[in-house]
Chain A
Amino acid sequence: MKAFSKDALAIIIGVIGFIIPFFLSIPGLSEAGHVALSIFIIAAVFWMLEPVPIYATSMLVILLQVFFLSKQGVLFPEVSAEYAPNAYTDFIGTLANPIIILFLGGFVLADAAVKFDLDKNLTRILLKPFGSKPKFIILGLMIVTGLLSAFMSNTATTAMMMTVILPIIAKTDIDDPMRIGLALSIPFAANIGGIATPIGTPPNAVVIGALSTQGIDIAFTEWMVLAAPLVLIVLGFSWLILLWMFKPKTNSVPMDLKGSFQKNKSAVLVYLVFAVTVVLWITESLHGVGSSIIALIPVAVLSLTGILDKDGIRQLPWEVLWLVAGGISLGISMESTGLAEWIVTSIEWSSFSTLFMIIGFSLVAIVMSNFLSNTVSATLLIPLAVSLATSGVAGEGFSLILISLVIGVSASMAMMLPISTPPNAIAMSTGTLKTKHMTRAGLAIGLFGLLMVTLYALFYWPLILN
């Protein structure tokens, strides 16, 4: 019999890691920095080994920060020369960070869309122009998946699109490689599509949240201008690589999507709210009203009209909001205690070129998020990037926004393994493909993503940001 289960071992490692810094005196690190290091270690261990759900770790992070690092906590009631403690409201306030509210709006919208089959009906309409040739069908599926996952969760989009492709797969010859191509096209497009808007996927929220604590606000439109062109090119590449790797044998794909738009009052209202919200979001730069403010429109209107009822509110994915809030919160104290700066100054960054750092951060983010949750990967890397920029050790020309984008976007480029993302897990579970298929195609996309992120960070993003 094993002495400890895997989870128990992970908890022990995390707790020991938490305790150790209390007994150390690390030169150059403030006393509060030691505590922040403790919290960082236990959070990193728990997030990576997952003995407890990742959102629970976020809750623990906020609890520990409030208790040990806030002005109202037990250790640092007074402002000292080396640490001006945050008010505990800074930590719990991350739960109402604008990006969290924006996500809340996105959840409510997506929820209503699913309830009234708007996602399915949009898919039906949007797929029509792509005819019946396999390569165009796959292109159409990828575009529609990418588009929907930019506004809904990648996972929910994948689940919905599976109901579209499973009948096609069932009617395709068992030895036609198109089955694999189809099954991979959906999760890949969903993973990539999530990058396109701030609400597409939680790593985007981590980036935007971290930047907002630095006083940098990224508008919805601005994010889209930065990210959407990258999404398009990576989607296009993924389409080609899937066609090349899994060349369809059949000439025609049976595409027979039935259904019709619901026309009752509630449904029409949902369409209207959906359209108005999305239009207001993507035109933020024209009218200047922040996307988080706009996000309150669907929340309020759908509640007022009873479309979002008490049960609906209870069933919203609150754990994702906690997860992201915990990440933002951790970043705050890593900054304010000087921990992040201590970590980054231990490396001689100025000897590295900007190019090297972009590739380095992108590669690390892609590798990490192939094995870990994308959100966790972004959460663990972002504070380092922030300190690199704010401490000035990386030298002139190191842009905080740029490197944050590199991390956030790269975290979504990981799709080599079934465990890389929930959409990958769904595709794998259909039983139509083997892990090696996913790994080969995912590797190609990861490498292309790395290349594109680097090129965009060098040439395109500076153009937009300056």
Chain B
Amino acid sequence: MDHKIYILIVEDELEVMDALVKDLEKFETFFPVETANDATEAEEVIDYILDHDHKIGLILCDHVLPGKNGVDLLIELQQNPKTAISKKVLVTGQAGHEDTIMAINKADLDHYIAKPWTEDELEKVVRDELTDYVLSNEDNLLYYMQVLDAEKISDAMRKNKMTDH
């Protein structure tokens, strides 16, 4: 793989961050995880990853952050074509009605995970979102098959007119 697809976690509480990182361990070999404590750091990390020709497949973002809040960050990322394709998930217990509506309408939010989450739930969301990301953005689907939704990837390959040669 000449480029890597990153998972970015934006979360200011250390314990929550640790729990998220731990629950995503099984994806790490294929999707390296980067973390940021606030929106500013997130932007730096994103710039760094994109500057090195890697991609951001999934952003898991808390809402209440010091400085700019999560929903605003996601909306901003939605306006950048390079991060508009990234899957965006809000992981929060405290986003109000209006913020959530904003996130859906303006940041094209892909999923909302309410705290506290279960490991299975998180894993499923991450797997589904990354599968969708890979299906619409990557050519080499086989590489990701064992860590993502293999059934869905197989079906996409079936419809892709794959040939023998």
Contact = CB atoms under 8 A, between A and B. Distances in A.
Interface of A: 54-55, 107, 111, 114-115, 119, 153-156, 159-160, 162-163, 166-167, 194, 201-202, 315-317, 319-320, 323, 373-376, 421-423, 425-426, 429-431
Nearest to B149: A166
Contacts of B145: 426, 429-431
A373 B154 contact: no
Interface in B140-158: 142-143, 145-147, 150-151, 154-155, 157-158
B164 interface: yes
B151 A426 contact: no
Contact of A155 (B147, B151, B163): B163
B161 A315 contact: yes
**Residue among A115, A159, A167, A421 with most chain B CB within 10 A:** A159
6 contacts: A115-B159, A159-B155, A159-B158, A166-B151, A317-B163, A320-B164
B151 A320 contact: no
**Residue among B143, B151, B154, B155 with most chain A CB within 10 A:** B154
**Residue among A107, A160, A163, A316 with most chain B CB within 10 A:** A163
B154 A374 contact: no
Given A160-B154, A162-B154, A167-B151, A425 B161 contact: no
A425 B154 CA distance: 12
Nearest to B155: A163
Contact of A323 (B147, B159, B165): B165
Given A163-B151, A163-B154, A166-B151, A430 B161 contact: no
Closest 5 CB pairs of A and B: A431-B146, A162-B154, A159-B157, A429-B142, A429-B145
Interface in B89-145: 142-143, 145
**Residue among B154, B159, B164 with most chain A CB within 10 A:** B164
Given A429-B146, A430-B145, A430-B146, A317 B161 contact: yes
Contact of A422 (B147, B151, B159, B165): B165
Contacts of A166: 150-151, 154
Contacts of B163: 153, 155-156, 202, 317, 319-320, 422
B19 interface: no
B162 interface: yes
B165 A162 contact: no
Contacts of B146: 429-431
Contact of A54 (B147, B150, B165): B165
A162 B149 CA distance: 12
A319 B147 CA distance: 30
Given A429-B143, A429-B146, A375 B157 contact: no
B151 A375 contact: no
Contacts of A421: 164
Nearest to A373: B165
Contact of A156 (B143, B150, B162, B165): B162
Contacts of B158: 114, 119, 156, 159-160, 163
Contacts of A111: 161
A194 B151 contact: no
Contacts of A115: 159
Nearest to A312: B161
Contact of A153 (B151, B154, B164): B164
Given A160-B155, A431-B150, 20 more contacts: A54-B165, A153-B161, A153-B163, A155-B162, A155-B164, A156-B161, A156-B163, A159-B157, A160-B154, A162-B150, A163-B154, A163-B158, A316-B161, A320-B164, A320-B165, A375-B165, A426-B142, A426-B157, A429-B143, A430-B146
**Residue among A162, A320, A421, A425 with most chain B CB within 10 A:** A162
A316 B164 CA distance: 13
B155 A425 contact: no
Contacts of A320: 163-165
Given A114-B159, A429-B146, A431-B146, A202 B151 contact: no
Contacts of B151: 162-163, 166-167
Contacts of B154: 159-160, 162-163, 166, 426
B164 to A, nearest CB: 5
Contacts of A323: 165
A201 B162 CA distance: 12
A256 to B, nearest CB: 13
Nearest to A320: B163
Nearest to B163: A317
A154 B161 contact: no
Contacts of B165: 54-55, 202, 319-320, 323, 373-376, 422
Nearest to B143: A429
A422 B140 CA distance: 12
Nearest to B154: A162
Nearest to A201: B164
**Residue among A115, A154, A422 with most chain B CB within 10 A:** A422
Contact of B142 (A54, A316, A425): A425
A430 B154 CA distance: 10
B32 to A, nearest CB: 19
B161 to A, nearest CB: 5
A430 to B, nearest CB: 6
A162 B151 CA distance: 7
Nearest to A203: B164
Contacts of B164: 153-155, 194, 201-202, 320, 374-375, 421-423
B137 to A, nearest CB: 18
Contacts of B161: 107, 111, 114, 153, 156, 315-317
